[in-house]
Copies of this chain bind each other. A is one copy, B any other.
Amino acid sequence: MTDSDANRGGPTLDKRQRLVEGARVVLHQQGVEKTTIADIAQAADVPVGNVYYYFKTKDELVQAAIDAQAQDIKTMLASFDRHRSPKARLKAFLRAITDRREVAALHGCPHGTLCSELAKREDDFERAPAILMQLFIDWAEQQFRSMGRRDARDLAVAMIASYQGIMLLTNTFRQPELIVREARRLNRWIDSLA
């Protein structure tokens, strides 16, 4: 999905886009600290020295990758609007997650691992990826509120927590099936809600 979205509008990406895409992939796979500018440049097929024309610092490039991920999340969540009921939308979310279980087993959640890693920093950057989680929670809260739940916020936090937690376990144990079983459970839970 990442690639297909990024390529929207033509097979050729300009260098800036290629760098952001490369950053997303490599940062997800290797983590922020272990990823070098050279890694990203290579993934984007851009000369190392050229990176700094588009991004003044490594952090700025990471920020751009986070922003691009935010866009992806918005697009994905918006795509669930085609379902009429909030329950159907929530289940579509679970389905989307389940579809990515193999990648999650290998590299974890692209957003969760980013939050986890950047939260260790002591500069302003530590809060940067929080925006990604906020998107999920806000969306989920909206769904639960559409269902008439007063405790929509808590349910949203609980659901996203379950999502992030199962991603972590899936990654830790390298077992994609964990997501399948948990998604099934969450599906039943959604059904059980008034």
Contacts and interface: CB of A to CB of B under 8 A. Distances in A.
A154 B185 contact: yes
Q: Which secondary structure characterizes the binding site on chain A? A: helix
Copies of this protein chain in the complex: 4
A157 to B, nearest CB: 6
A113 B154 CA distance: 23
A189 B129 CA distance: 30
Contact of A157 (B117, B133, B154, B169): B169
A161 interface: yes
Nearest to A169: B161
Nearest to A113: B116
B133 A172 contact: yes
A33 interface: yes
